[in-house]
Amino acid sequence: MAIVETLPPTADGHRRLGLRSPADGADVGEIVVRTPEEVAAAIATARAAQPGWAERPVKERAAIIRRAVQVLVDRRAEIAATVRGETGKPLVEALAVEILPSCDFLNYWSGRAVKDLADEKRRLHGYLAPLKKLVVSYRPLGVVGVITPWNGPFVLSINPVAQALLAGNAVLLKPSEVTPHSGEWAVKVLHEAGVPEDVLQVLHGDGETGAALVDGDIDKISFTGSVPTGKRIAAACAERLIPCTLELGGKDAMIVCADADLERASAGAVYLSMFNSGQVCVGVERIYVVESVADEFVAKVREKAAAVTYGAGKDVGPLFWDRQLDIVSKHVQDARDKGATVLLGGEQDTADGVYFQPTLVVDVTHDMELMREETFGPIVSIMRVADEDEAVRLANDCAYGLSGSVFTRDRAKAVRLARELHTGSVVHNDASVIYGVPEAPFGGRKNSGLGQVNGIDALRGFTHAQPVLIDRWGPKKESIWYPYADEMVQTLDRTIRLGFGSRIARRLMR
C-alpha cells in the first residue's frame, strides 16, 4: 500500500499526489504539486509583502502570534484529526507531540520577541569607549523558506515559521508531501490570527518543489529532514552565500549506569524508543547498559515492551510512510543475521496498515545497521557494556550526534558523562523532551545538522545583527586622518605604551 500515489494530472497539466492513511489505507486527500515557476512567483509575492510586515512594530507582530495560541486551542480537535489521518498516530501523541508544545512555542516566542529583537546598546571597552557608542539592530533577513518533515508535521512547521515571522520575515512553508495538510495547518492558524496571506504562504509538492524553493530568491532556509537532502541544501545555500539551519537525522544513545533507577530506565527505554512509532529524530535508537545491571534491566524492559499494543488506536501506531517499512525490516534482519536475538516482535504487519511490531533486540553489536544507521521504527536495541567509559566510547562511535541521554541517580555523574558525549544535547533520566524546551538551543553535531533552533538566540537567528557605531561628539576631524604627521606617530606610540604596556593598564583597557 503506497501512502503517496501519483494521480492523473490536472486539466492544466499539474502533477497530483494522492494520500492514504498508513493506519488503514483510507483516502485522506490529495495535493497539486506547485511548479518551479509558481514557486518563483510565490517568492516574488513574499518579497513584495515583506517590507510592510517588517515595518510593523515587533510588539504588533508578537500580538498576532500570541492570538494564534487561542486559535490553536480552539482548532485543536481539527488539527489533531488531520494529523492522525495522515500519520495514524494515537490521539495522545497528536496532542502531546504536536498540539501542546506548539501552544507553548507560540506563547513563549511571542512573549520573548519585544525584548530579544530590540536594539541593543553594547558597552565599548578601552580607548574607543570615550569616542564611540555601539548599537546592534536585529534586522529581518527578508524571505525565509521552511521545509518540514512528516514525523512531526505540525509542530516542526509552526515553531520555525513563528520565529521567522516574529523576526519580521516573510515565510514560505513547504511541508512534506506525506503529511501536507498537517503542515498546512500551521499556515491556517497563523492566517486566522492575523498574519497576512502574502507574508506567509504554503507550497505543496515533493522534492521538485523543495528544490525550487531552495534555489529561489530567498534569504535563508530552515530545513528538517534527511541527511542526504540536508547536505544538498547546504551546498546550494553555500553557492549563494545565504544561511541555513539544518536539523537532520539522529541515532541517539541512551546510557544506563550501574546506579540507575532501573524501573524508570526500563520504562524510558520502551517509551522513548517507541513513541511516535519510533519516528523521532531525538528518540532513543540504541541503549548501552552496564553489565552489572544488564540482566535485571533487560528483564524489566522485556516485561514492559510485551505490554505495548500496536494498531489503530493502540499504543504504537503505524509507520507514517510506507518507504520506512523496508528500512526498519532491513535493519532488524541484518541484526538477526549477525547474531542478535529478537526477544519480542521483529516483523512487519501490513494486513490493515503500515505497521511494524514493537520490537526488542538484544546481543547487538556495532557491526549491525541497527546500531549504526538511523532506523526510525519502534525498536528497542540493547547492548551490554563493561562500564560507563565503554558506553561513552560506543555512543560517540557514530556518524550522528543529535542528542543523547544518561540514566543515573548521580546528577554530577550525568553532567560529567554529558560533557564526554559528542552530541548537540544531553538529557538526564529522560530523552526527546529537549526539543520542547524553548530555552535550550537545539541542534546536532556531525551528520545530525548545522546550526541551532530554539534557545535565547532563536529569534535573532532569523535576523542580521547590524552594528551601528555612533559618534559621541559630533562632526570633527579624526586624529589619524590625512595628512599624517610626526605628532600622530608619537600619540599612537604613547597610547600603545600606556594602554598595553603593563598588566594594570591591560586590565583597565578590557
Which tens digit of pLDDT belongs to each residue from 252-277?
999 999 999 999 999 999 999 999 99
- Tell me if 108 is assigned to some domain: yes
User: So what's the pLDDT on residue 1?
Assistant: 60
213 and 361 fall within a common domain:
no
Confirm if 170 and 142 have CB atoms less than 8 A apart.
yes
Q: Examine the pLDDT at 476 and tell me if it is beyond 80.
A: no
User: So what's the pLDDT on residue 302?
Assistant: 98
201 and 90 fall within a common domain:
yes
Question: Degrees (nearest 5) of the Cα angle 259, 263, 266?
Answer: 95
The predicted-structure confidence for 203-226, as pLDDT tens digits, reads as follows 999 999 999 999 999 999 999 999
> What is the pLDDT averaged over residues 105-128?
96
239 and 256 fall within a common domain:
no
Q: Say what percent of the chain tops pLDDT 70.
A: 99
First to last CA, the chain: 67
- Tell me if 509 is assigned to some domain: no
User: So what's the pLDDT on residue 229?
Assistant: 97
> What is the pLDDT averaged over residues 108-135?
95
The predicted-structure confidence for 386-408, as pLDDT tens digits, reads as follows 999 999 999 999 999 999 999 99
The predicted-structure confidence for 161-190, as pLDDT tens digits, reads as follows 999 999 999 999 999 999 999 999 999 999
CATH number of the domain that residue 328 is part of: 3.40.309.10
The residue segments making up the domain with residue 59 are: 4-117+143-247
Q: Which of 450, 393, 449, 442 is nearest to 422 (CA)?
A: 393
237 and 312 fall within a common domain:
no
* Positive/negative CA dihedral, 78, 83, 89, 94: negative
CA 243 to CA 214: how far, in whole Å?
11
Q: Which of 247, 280, 311 is the last residue of a domain?
A: 247
Q: Which of 160, 185, 183, 159 is nearest to 104 (CA)?
A: 159
Confirm if 86 and 28 have CB atoms less than 8 A apart.
yes
Q: Mean of the per-residue pLDDT values for the chain?
A: 96
The cell numbers describing 338, all together, are: 549477525
CB-CB neighbours of 92 under 10 Å: 10
User: So what's the pLDDT on residue 474?
Assistant: 76
- pLDDT class of 424 with cuts at 50, 70, 90: very high
151 and 277 fall within a common domain:
no
- Tell me if 129 is assigned to some domain: no
318 and 257 fall within a common domain:
yes
Q: Examine the pLDDT at 479 and tell me if it is beyond 90.
A: no
- Tell me if 127 is assigned to some domain: no
CATH number of the domain that residue 178 is part of: 3.40.605.10
- pLDDT class of 477 with cuts at 50, 70, 90: low
243 and 258 fall within a common domain:
no
200 and 314 fall within a common domain:
no
* Positive/negative CA dihedral, 351, 352, 358, 364: positive
- Tell me if 482 is assigned to some domain: no
DSSP-based three-state secondary structure for 171? strand
CB-CB neighbours of 121 under 10 Å: 10
CA 37 to CA 185: how far, in whole Å?
24
CA 106 to CA 154: how far, in whole Å?
13
CA 416 to CA 337: how far, in whole Å?
37
Q: Examine the pLDDT at 247 and tell me if it is beyond 90.
A: yes
- pLDDT class of 2 with cuts at 50, 70, 90: confident
- Tell me if 62 is assigned to some domain: yes
188 and 227 fall within a common domain:
yes
The total domain count for the chain is 2
- Tell me if 181 is assigned to some domain: yes
Active site residues: 247
Q: Examine the pLDDT at 202 and tell me if it is beyond 80.
A: yes
> What is the pLDDT averaged over residues 444-453?
97
Strands 170-174 vs 143-147: parallel, antiparallel or unpaired: parallel
Location of C-alpha cell 532556509: 221
User: So what's the pLDDT on residue 168?
Assistant: 98
User: So what's the pLDDT on residue 480?
Assistant: 83
Confirm if 480 and 488 have CB atoms less than 8 A apart.
yes
> What is the pLDDT averaged over residues 433-441?
97
DSSP-based three-state secondary structure for 18? strand
Q: Which of 196, 220, 247 is the last residue of a domain?
A: 247
Q: Examine the pLDDT at 478 and tell me if it is beyond 90.
A: no
290 and 215 fall within a common domain:
no
CA 262 to CA 268: how far, in whole Å?
9
Q: Which of 419, 442, 465 is the last residue of a domain?
A: 442
CA 149 to CA 224: how far, in whole Å?
6
Q: 326 Cβ partners below 8 Å, 6+ apart?
A: none
CA 496 to CA 50: how far, in whole Å?
48
> What is the pLDDT averaged over residues 355-379?
98
- Tell me if 474 is assigned to some domain: no
The predicted-structure confidence for 33-51, as pLDDT tens digits, reads as follows 999 999 999 999 999 999 9
Q: Examine the pLDDT at 6 and tell me if it is beyond 70.
A: yes
> What is the pLDDT averaged over residues 370-386?
98
Q: Say what percent of the chain tops pLDDT 90.
A: 93
User: So what's the pLDDT on residue 276?
Assistant: 98
Length of the chain: 510
The cell numbers describing 81, all together, are: 484529526
362 and 424 fall within a common domain:
yes
CA 291 to CA 287: how far, in whole Å?
12
> What is the pLDDT averaged over residues 315-322?
97
Confirm if 286 and 371 have CB atoms less than 8 A apart.
yes
CA 238 to CA 236: how far, in whole Å?
5
Residues facing residue 356 across a β-bridge: 348
Q: Examine the pLDDT at 470 and tell me if it is beyond 80.
A: yes
108 and 58 fall within a common domain:
yes
Confirm if 311 and 88 have CB atoms less than 8 A apart.
no
Confirm if 213 and 135 have CB atoms less than 8 A apart.
no
Confirm if 214 and 235 have CB atoms less than 8 A apart.
no
